[in-house]
Structure 1
Amino acid sequence: MMIGDLARATGLSVDTLRWYEKIGLIRKPARDRGGRRVYPADTLDWIAFLGRLKSTGMSIAEMLDYARLREQGPATTAARRVMLERHRIRVRDDIAALTASLGALDDKIETYRAIEAGLAADRDPEIAS
């Protein structure tokens, strides 16, 4: 798969893919006779996994640590599992915090609806904010 094809398939720009390669987040691909990058098909799965890690708040530095462990092979399975378990705890904590914030937003919205419906007065400074 050429870099343009990979960019289209992943939604990442060619520049981003080149940067990922430069920093070691994706493996350096083979090159064809014209010097063009030719990525193996499994690069799509790896980039999709990186996207999931990124969407859950994992930093590039952490993803690089994970990628380095992955490159070392099966001997690092336990280390990668531990790393993902730690990240999972952070994600669960983030979800809990977001859920609490969502509840507070829902409460505030209901208060405003009650005020608009004439069922409550808008006198509390906290309610007016």
Structure 2
Amino acid sequence: MSYTIGQVSDLTGLSIHTLRYYEKEGILPSVSRNESGLRIYETKDLEALEFIGCLRALGMTIKDIKHFVQTSTTIDQRLRILERQKEIVAAKMDQLLTYQSMIERKIEIYTKMQSEVEM
């Protein structure tokens, strides 16, 4: 299925400006154009944008994403990049679990205080 830049913007939540920027920077280099020169996105482009969004949400820089998607980047290099991102995600998850435990302890304390007041 084919999509216009406006449709892709609506589907992904990315601005048209961001989509053009990604293409200009080579982050999404494979966008084709129709006879009128309008960008035509395919399902594979949406999948690539979803993955790019994942990497951005995890804090990967545009520079690093650009390096990752370059055709000159080897499979070994891509694996190392993804392994590093996996480590970063694991560390963030550990930190979030610590925060969750802190919040749960406070909830227990306040729940106990509340039931003592009600007695």
* Bin of the TM-score, shorter chain as denominator length: 0.7 to 0.9
Structure 1 spans left out of the alignment, 5+ residues:
120-129
1:112 corresponds to: 110
| TM-score in terms of structure 1 length | 0.77
AA in 1 matched with 2:17:
D
Across the two proteins, how many residue pairs are aligned to each other?
A: 115
Q: How far 1:96 sits from its partner (Å)?
A: 0.5
Runs of 4+ residues over 4 Å off in structure 1: none
CA offset digits 1:16-49 (Å, max 9, x no partner):
2112112221115332222211233311111111
Bigger radius of gyration: 1
Say whether the 8 Å CA contact 2:5–2:16 is kept in structure 1.
Answer: yes
User: Who is 2:72 aligned against?
Assistant: 72
Greater Cα offset, 24-33 or 11-20: 24-33
Alignment TM-score, normalising by the size of structure 2: 0.83
CA drift at 1:105: 1.0
Partner of 2:35: 33
1:5 deviates by 2.3
Rounded to whole Å, the distance in 2 between the matches of 1:31 and 1:58 is 28
Q: Which residue of 1 aligns with 2:58?
A: 56
Q: Which has the higher contact order (CA 8 A, sep 6+)?
A: 2
Q: CA RMSD in A?
A: 1.9
- The percent of aligned pairs where both chains have the same amino acid is 30
